[in-house]
Every structure is written in structure tokens, then in C-alpha cells.
Amino acid sequence: MRKNIKYLLVLFFLFFCAQGVLAQDSIVTIDKKVVTLKEVIVRSNFDVASFIHRIQTDTTFYKAFRNLKVLGFVSLNDVRMLDKNGELEAMLDSKTEQVVKDGCRSMNILQQTTHGDIYKSDSSWNYYTLEMYAGLMFTNGTVCGENNIVKDLDRNLSDKKGIEKHKEQLKMLFFNPGRKIPGVPFIGNKVALFDDDVAKLYDFTIDMEQYLGQNCYVFKIKARSDLSSSEKNDVVINEMTTWFDGNTMEIVGRKYDLSYDAGVYDFDVHMEVQLTKFGEYLVPKLIRYNGNWHVAFKKREHGVFTATLFDYKR
């Protein structure tokens, strides 16, 4: 009897030791990128190299926003501008409807409430943040002949100058993080997360978890905690987490923090985007933004907004 008990104890000991080994994370190197694989990924024999390549070449996240140019939808818009003490300075609360017909889009304002100095005397936006938001979510007049093509991202800048070019660059930076943004001064390739000289500044992790009720693969990129001061100065994207549908591998959400101080401008931006499917189209359903930024000779702006999009139509 005593021998049997000893034998069972040894078996239990070996079992728990084995479980401890299996539960350990695994570290692999893919194209000079050190990637931590969580336990569930290790056990699933996940094709890490293909997954990393898919992320590197992904244009679907940005395309989800381009799809807003060819679809009708309803949007609840809550935009708040805060002063230096965090108090409400101005506010826009509205419900809008974009209508698409015969290759053209226009917008109806269904409800709207404003507070503070949202507009200038000529009825233009008084805040750059609001101008950026309007450029993404609102349609001015009737716009025709647009498409949702993103094959060559540079083509979106070729016909733009001045403020319009800068707005497009910022939208590309915020809504397509991880890809080089042409023409943004002082940042250069610092947002190209998968380039070797940038990737070495980050930890990469792949896991699996529930997100919005779906089983999702999770890809997290986070600036290394042991960076030197000079290395920290090269970091623009502090952290980015992307959730992929476990069955279709389509992006269902992304959350990221961006910050940089170039002297003539600085920004500290936190965003979360949730995506959904409308037929064959991947589209945003929720956008949250909390951003504080400043450009030389301009007033510092701290904006907080939430956009809720629904009732899509083709």
C-alpha cells in the first residue's frame, strides 16, 4: 500500500512538472524579429512566419476607413475639446447620415448640438482636431468619383498640398500604423515597425483570447522596457495590439498609443478601433480617440471623441 502511494505521488509530481514545462512561453526569431509565443499558440502549431508576413503586408485596416468613401452609414459623433486643465472647452454632439447614390456621396445632419467655440466666424472648424474628424467622418456637399483602393498608399498624397497633404499624412499615421508614412518631418521610418532597425526596439507577442465575444489571435507590439534614452527618442508607436478573428483571420480590433516630440510639434495619442463586416466590406463600428498635440505657432489641442457607426448601406 505504501509503495502504491509513493508511486502515485511520483506520478502526480511528474505530471505537474510536465504541465509547468508545457505552460512556458516560447521565443522564436522570424526575419530578425524576436517573437514571444504564449502557451496556447505553442500548443496549436501556429504558422508564425505566415502570420507575421500577413501583418507586415496588411492593408485591410486602412481599407476599412477607405470603405467609408463608398458606403452609406449613420454616425453618432461625440467630440469634446478640453482646455489645459482638462475642462470642457468646446463640444460637438451630432447624428449624421451619409447617403451614396450614383457614385456620389452626401451627408444629412439628423441631430446636432454644439457648445463653445467649435466654429470660426466664417463657419469653418476652429480646431484642427475637429477638422481632422470632419475629414474622416463628414461629407461636405456632394462628392463624386471616389474609390476605396489602397494598393499604392502614396497615391493618396500625390494630388494634395499644404494642409490637405498634412491631414492625409496624419490619417495614414493614425489609421494605418506600422507602415512608413511619406513626408512626415523628423519621423521618417520610425513608424515602420517591421523594418529591422525599428523592430529591434520592440517586443512582439502572439496570444489568443476572447475579444468582443469572438476567439481571436492577438498580436501585440510594445516598446522594450530596457531601451536607452537615445533609443526611446526613436519610438513613435509605444504599443499596438491587434485582434484577428480566429476563423477568418480578419482584423476585428486595434488599440494603440502613439507619442513623439519633434520640437516643432509633439503629440500623445491613444486610439481604439473596432471593426465589423457589412457584406464583403470590412468597416469601422467604433472609434475612440484621446489625443493631445501641438504644432509650433498653433494652440495646443486636447481632443476626445467617440464615433459610433451603424446602418451601413451600399
* Residue 38 forms part of a structural domain: yes
* Residue 231 forms part of a structural domain: yes
* Residue 16 forms part of a structural domain: no
How much is the pTM?
Answer: 0.85
User: Do the beta carbons of residue 312 and residue 72 sit within 8 Å?
Assistant: yes
- Alpha helix stretches (DSSP H) within the chain: 2-22, 39-43, 48-56, 60-66, 128-137, 162-175, 196-199, 229-232
By CB neighbour count within 10 A (0-12 exposed, 13-18 middle, 19+ buried), where does 22 fall? exposed
Distance from C-alpha of 153 to C-alpha of 171, rounded to nearest angstrom? 12
Domain count, the chain: 1
* Residue 3 forms part of a structural domain: no
**pLDDT per residue as tens, the chain (314 positions):** 554 544 443 333 333 333 443 446 788 787 777 888 888 887 777 888 888 888 887 888 888 999 999 999 999 999 999 999 999 999 999 999 999 999 999 999 999 999 999 999 999 999 988 988 998 899 999 999 998 988 655 545 677 776 677 667 777 776 777 777 777 777 878 888 888 889 999 999 999 999 999 999 999 999 999 999 999 999 999 999 999 998 888 999 999 999 999 888 899 999 999 999 999 999 999 999 999 988 888 889 999 999 999 999 98
Q: Which domain holds residue 108?
A: 26-313
Q: How far is CA 76 from CA 56, 138, 244, 269, in A?
A: 32, 11, 26, 21
User: Do the beta carbons of residue 300 and residue 267 sit within 8 Å?
Assistant: no
* Residue 252 forms part of a structural domain: yes
Backbone angles phi, psi at 13, to 5 degrees: -60, -45
CB atoms within 10 A of CB 285: 20
* Residue 244 forms part of a structural domain: yes
Nearest Cα neighbor of 132 from 266, 291, 260, 297 is 291
* Residue 100 forms part of a structural domain: yes
**Residue 10 is which amino acid?**
V
* Residue 44 forms part of a structural domain: yes
Which neighbouring-strand residues pair with 287?
Answer: 273, 307
